[in-house]
Amino acid sequence: MHLAVDYSGVHFENPFVLASGPPTANADMISRAFDAGWAGAVIKTLILEPVNNLQNRFATIKVGSKIVAFKNIELLSELKPEDWYRDIRTLKKRFPNKIVIGSIMGDAKAEDQWIELARGCQDAGVDLIELNFSCPHGYPDKGKGSAIGQAEEYSSMITGWLKTDSRITVPIIPKLTAAVSDITHIREAVAIAGADGICAINTYPSLMGFDLKTLEPRASVGGNTTPGGYSGPGLKPIALKCVSDLVKNPGLPVMACGGVSSGYDAAEFILLGAPIVQVCTEVMLEGYSVVSKIKTELTEFMGWHGFSTIGDFLGLGNERIRKFAELDRDYAVTACVDLDNCSGCQTCFVSCRDAGYQVIEMRDGFPVVDRAMCRGCSLCFHVCPNNAISMVSTAG
């Protein structure tokens, strides 16, 4: 099986790229990631102004001991651009076949900042450059980050500056935010300005709530907090929706990012049509070696279907994502209980009674579905802790 893919003329040995973030904070770290098997890495975003991070900048939601959602109020790279340029050179020398992607942010109206950073990255040897139009904290207050990605005119203008400067030849990939009313409008704006691809998505604006014992918000910076970026598994459905919207209009290849923690997650983004899949939070939680597990899972998925290359299933699922009105109104299912697996816990009964159609009753301690009256909503199927319920088509 071959996991190699090409994106915007650049060859990746596999689809897995470290997203810009703490795992790409410096060249030593990226070297270890490359040794572990990542095909590429997006460096932590460069900015010309000094970066002083807040302390206590993360908050999480856990289910049991597993982190399912993550919030951060981290700023951009603490390293100076010149230090990064030196490090990019070293990285590319040591790993000529790995892909190093620059990531830059400037002021919305400062063409010179964007050009300086892009040229610096290009001269150092990056293969592609991401434009950070999407960081949701710290920078939008100053008109940068997601403030740019929420404004078609600025997204287009900045992309245009880089694409019309004849000295800049590496592919330019704006990284977009999902926090817009319609991400395809931003896509069109950067496409017209000449973007070579798109990365979607960055973290989503969020608050993680309070510690109810201390009344401190999370993450607490001396007792206060500010909205920050949401990432990790809980972000995946939003990222999938954005990628689906973006690939509907072919032309600009999409790098997917958001909530990937397994090769199965990656398979879903590739099915939608994104050949490259970036990962940040999962690496923060599991380390670089998680890429081996992710590759094994993707290969396993490919084996189930007889796919031997990424191209065999790239975009295969997207035609199944339809407009609401295009779905079959005559398609019908009813709930069916497998009593061999049922523990009689009543969870399905309670959900159907209080949020469904009152078609499940308990008889002799076990649920019985009135299938003639069942409206096929599937709530019972989802709440059953024993996988004892299936939704069965009434057709034929």
Ligand X SMILES: Cc1cc2nc3c(=O)[nH]c(=O)nc-3n(C[C@H](O)[C@H](O)[C@H](O)COP(=O)(O)O)c2cc1C
Report, in Å, the least distance between residue 208 CB and ligand X: 13
Number of Cα atoms under 13 Å in the Cβ half of residue 47: 21
- Closest Cα to residue 34, out of 123, 101, 80? 101
Q: Which residues neighbour 337 within 8 Å (Cβ) at sequence distance 6 or greater?
A: 348, 366, 367, 368, 369, 388, 389
- 26-59 in b/e form (b: 16+ CB < 10 A) is bbebbbebbeebbbbbbbbbbbbeebeebeebbb
Would you tell me how many other CB atoms lie within 10 Å of the CB of residue 81?
Answer: 18
Active-site residue, from 121, 135, 199, 384: 135
Would you tell me how many other CB atoms lie within 10 Å of the CB of residue 153?
Answer: 10
Contacts with ligand X, residue ranges (CB under 6 A): 19-22, 44-45, 70, 72, 74, 76, 103, 132, 135, 175, 202-203, 229, 231-232, 235, 257-260, 279-282
Burial of 323 (0-12, 13-18, 19+ CB in 10 A): exposed
Specify whether 377 is catalytic: no
Instruction: Name the residue with tokens 């095909």.
Output: 39
Asked if 193 and 252 count as a contact pair (C-beta separation under 8 A), the reply is no
List residues with catalytic annotation. 135
